[in-house]
A and B are shown apart, each in its own frame.
Chain A
Amino acid sequence: MIVIVDLGVGNLFNVLRVFNHVGIQAVITDDIEIIKSADKMVLSGVGSFKVGMDNMRKKGLTGVILQFLESGKPVLGVCLGMQMLMDYSEENGGVRGLGVISGRVRYLKSINGFLPGFTIPNIGWNTIEAGKSGWSGSVLGNVRVVDEFYFVHSLCAIAEEKYQLAVSSYAGITFSSVIQKGNVTGCQFHPEKSGDSGLKIIREFAKG
């Protein structure tokens, strides 16, 4: 069973819907016991990094989430959920993340080279390009060069290269679009909102 952790940031119902669509049982919860006993975990969110981390603490979930992340069981981080896996975000004046995958989260607009004329947030579809190691064996196993994914974000993750499964570009800035460490994978985009392409990732994560 897949557990979608409820951190009170963002709409989780569409994440649930997409797992229902591929025929996998999933539940939205903030119950520690249910999370502990799940086979796989999804950390999804849209909104403030600080609010996400604070809610995690307030709900007493930090411990069980970190344990799950270290357990080797598959985890999928989506958007803010992916960003929280990292060390640090410069949002809200600077906030510590879970520190599971090294790297930091930065405002797109503050990165050197951000081209004028592009809006914030980055809202729209984009392709992803393989990082150094290629994709086989990861949740991106069936993803091809032409697949596109739906992004909506104002901050981006810059992960250490060895954890960078895929990169994307916006306004002249290249950032980590998919990160991976062991069985923990994170996507900056929304696989549950990326049509066929997104469904490939959801299926790959859900199976096995």
Chain B
Amino acid sequence: MDRLVVNKKIRLIPRLDVKGSNLVKGVHLEGLRVLGRPEEFAAEYYKDKADEIIFMDSVASLYGRNNLHEIVKNVADKLFIPMTVGGGIRSIEDVDQLLRSGADKVAINTALFQDIEIVSRVSDYFGSQCMVVSIDVVRKSDGEYECVTDNGRERTGVEVFSWIERVVKLGAGELMVTSVDFEGTGKGYDVNLIKRISERFGIPVIACGGAGNKEHVLDVLRNGSADAAAMSSILHYDIANKLAKDGGFLPEGNNDFLKKSKTMGVKSIRNGIESISIFELKEYLHSKGVFLRMQKNTEF
């Protein structure tokens, strides 16, 4: 299918990875840093006019299930924008529980490799708009792309495009594509991959993984034809800095980063990754002719 350069309205989506009750950020080879309470971050993003929010349970595979229900409920009671939840979802019952807790959409990856029909069951039962197929991808030495699971830990031997074709046929509503090689590095999205996927299948594509600055986001939207861009690092550090300065909560776990940020400020901790708010990002993209939602939430 030939995609013209269309000026479609895109979405910006903060992605929050959660471990237990904390927001964390995984960094390529550096493990997890604790950044704070997911609910607080989500509230800031909502105020800053995020178009949607994604919560991923980053340790679901350790527990064999998704544990985000409390956080999802807390967020859904106050923030009235679409919420996608993923990590460890394996069955219709899991999906039902999360939707009841307040999720609007679910993102599933690993479980599909045991049972790809979950896509059609979720889509038939709850509607395809609810079924976000999450695809984590690595690029092989021969240039082909392979699907990976378990948060990037397991190779599947499955080629990405044939996989996408199957899940689209089964009723996937959206695709969330994360380049594991790029994720957390701040070097940008895999724009070529996103472009190829966007041009070939007619369903919305959310690009995930790699944004280090606002130019990267512009690149994946403009040149990758993504329908939405999800990002973590560039947004989280800005909010973490703000919340740390406000003198609040210091969570347990690997929080050296937060202790340092109280004195030094975030930019000096995280080389190569810009620190920006959603609203600043939107203003930048808007100035570059990207069509998106500009209006600010005035109520909280």
A and B together in one complex: yes
Interface presence of B162 (CB below 8 A): no
- Count of chain A residues with Cβ under 8 Å from any Cβ of B? 37
Interface presence of A148 (CB below 8 A): yes
Q: Scan B109-136; emit 1 where CB is below 8 A from any A CB, else 0.
A: 0000000000000000011111000000
Interface of B is mostly: loop
Interface presence of A119 (CB below 8 A): yes
Interface presence of A198 (CB below 8 A): yes
Measured between C-beta atoms, what is the minimum distance from B202 to chain A in Å? Answer: 6
Interface presence of B287 (CB below 8 A): no
Do B46 and A118 have beta carbons less than 8 Å apart? no
Are A199 and B6 CB-contacts (below 8 A) given A119-B202, A121-B129, A123-B204? no
Do B76 and A116 have beta carbons less than 8 Å apart? no
Interface presence of B19 (CB below 8 A): no
B6 / chain A contacts, CB cutoff of 8 Å: 115-118
Do A147 and B295 have beta carbons less than 8 Å apart? yes
Do B293 and A116 have beta carbons less than 8 Å apart? no
Do B295 and A148 have beta carbons less than 8 Å apart? yes
Q: Scan A186-200; emit 1 where CB is below 8 A from any B CB, else 0.
A: 000000111111110
Give Cα distance in the complex from A192 to B79, angstroms. 10
B29 / chain A contacts, CB cutoff of 8 Å: none
Do A118 and B80 have beta carbons less than 8 Å apart? no
Measured between C-beta atoms, what is the minimum distance from B85 to chain A in Å? Answer: 12
Q: Scan B1-34; emit 1 where CB is below 8 A from any A CB, else 0.
A: 1111110111100000000000000000000000
A14 / chain B contacts, CB cutoff of 8 Å: 76, 80, 102, 104
Give Cα distance in the complex from A193 to B130, angstroms. 14
Are A21 and B78 CB-contacts (below 8 A) given A116-B4, A197-B295? yes
Do B127 and A195 have beta carbons less than 8 Å apart? no
B102 in complex: contacting residue of A17, A126, A199, CB < 8 Å: A17
Do B102 and A121 have beta carbons less than 8 Å apart? no
B204 / chain A contacts, CB cutoff of 8 Å: 119, 121, 123
Interface presence of A124 (CB below 8 A): yes
Interface presence of A32 (CB below 8 A): no
Give Cα distance in the complex from A196 to B46, angstroms. 10
Give Cα distance in the complex from A116 to B2, angstroms. 8
B127 in complex: contacting residue of A21, A47, A147, CB < 8 Å: A47
A21 in complex: contacting residue of B46, B80, B82, B130, CB < 8 Å: B80
Do A196 and B299 have beta carbons less than 8 Å apart? yes
Give residues in B with beta carbon < 8 Å to A. Answer: 1-6, 8-11, 46, 49, 51, 76-78, 80-82, 99-102, 104, 126-130, 173-174, 202-204, 227-228, 293, 295, 297-299
Would you list the 9 A-B pairs with minimal beta carbon distance, nearest first?
A: A117-B6, A125-B293, A47-B127, A117-B4, A196-B297, A117-B3, A152-B129, A46-B127, A119-B204
Additional 20 contacts, C-beta under 8 A, given A20-B77, A116-B3, A196-B299? A11-B100, A13-B101, A18-B80, A21-B77, A47-B127, A116-B2, A118-B8, A120-B202, A123-B11, A123-B174, A123-B204, A124-B9, A124-B51, A125-B9, A146-B295, A194-B80, A194-B81, A195-B81, A199-B80, A199-B299
